Structure 1
Amino acid sequence: MPCSAVTLSIATITAIVAAALMAIAFSTDNWLYIEVKRTSIQGYAAENSAGNSQSILDSLNNKYFFYTRTRGLFRICYPKERPPSVEIYLSPVETHCSNVDYFIPDENNETKGLSDDAMNRLHMARSTVALFIVAFLSLFIAFWTGVVGCWKRSPGNITATAILMLVTCLLAAGAMALWHGVEFYEKEKLVGEEYYQQWPNILRENSRMWYDWSYMVAWCGVGLSLLSAILFSSAAICLRGEREREEALNMQYLMPGMLSRSSLGATFLGLHGEKIPTLEVRYSGLYCCHWG
Structure 2
Amino acid sequence: MGKGQLCLLFLVLFLILASLALMLTGIVTDYWYRVDASGSSNTTVKERFTYHFGMWRKCYTYSIPPEIPIDRRAGRCVYTYQDLFPRTMATFSASDERYLHLERSWIACLIAGAAIQVFAILTLICGLWPADCKSVKRSSLYLSASILCLFGAMCGITSGIIFIAMRDMDGTSRNIYPANTTHQYGWSFMLSWIGTGLCVIQGFFFLCLLKMDYNDINESGKYNTFM
Question: 2:53 is aligned with what amino acid?
Answer: R
1:113 aligns with 2:91: yes
Q: Is the 8 A contact 1:117 1:190 kept in 2?
A: no
Q: Is the 8 A contact 1:77 1:97 kept in 2?
A: yes
Name the Cα RMSD after superposition.
Answer: 2.3
CA distance in structure 2 between the partners assigned to 1:77 and 1:176 by the alignment: 21
1:83 aligns with 2:64: yes
Q: Is the 8 A contact 2:27 2:111 kept in 1?
A: no
Q: Is the 8 A contact 2:106 2:159 kept in 1?
A: yes
> How far off its partner does 1:162 sit?
0.7
CA distance in structure 2 between the partners assigned to 1:157 and 1:142 by the alignment: 10
SS class of match (1:114)? coil
CA distance in structure 2 between the partners assigned to 1:103 and 1:31 by the alignment: 17
Match of 2:122 among 141, 144, 162: 144
Gap change, CA 1:136 and 1:146, over 3 Å in 2: same
> How far off its partner does 1:245 sit?
2.1
Cα offsets for 1:201-225 (capped at 9, x unmatched): xxx22x2211111111010000001
CA distance in structure 2 between the partners assigned to 1:115 and 1:105 by the alignment: 16
CA distance in structure 1 between the partners assigned to 2:143 and 2:97 by the alignment: 40
| TM-score, length-scaled by structure 2 | 0.83
Question: 1:77 is aligned with what amino acid?
Answer: C
Superposed counterparts of 1:116-131, under 5 Å: 116-131=94-109
Match of 1:236 among 191, 197, 210: 210
* Runs of 4+ more than 6 Å apart: none
SS class of match (2:63)? coil
CA distance in structure 2 between the partners assigned to 1:106 and 1:208 by the alignment: 29
Greater RCO (Cα-Cα under 8 Å, separation 6 or more):
2
> How far off its partner does 1:33 sit?
1.3
CA distance in structure 1 between the partners assigned to 2:52 and 2:92 by the alignment: 25
Q: Is the 8 A contact 1:139 1:165 kept in 2?
A: yes
Match of 1:69 among 51, 55, 79: 51
> How far off its partner does 1:169 sit?
0.3
CA distance in structure 2 between the partners assigned to 1:7 and 1:230 by the alignment: 11
CA distance in structure 1 between the partners assigned to 2:143 and 2:45 by the alignment: 57
Cα offsets for 1:233-274 (capped at 9, x unmatched): 1112212322332337xxxxxxxxxxxxxxxxxxxxxxxxxx
Q: Percent identity?
A: 19
Whose radius of gyration is greater, 1 or 2? 1
Residue correspondences, number: 212
Unaligned runs of 5+ in 1: 42-55, 249-292
| TM-score, length-scaled by structure 1 | 0.66
> How far off its partner does 1:102 sit?
5.2
Gap change, CA 1:60 and 1:134, over 3 Å in 2: closer
Q: Is the 8 A contact 2:25 2:188 kept in 1?
A: yes
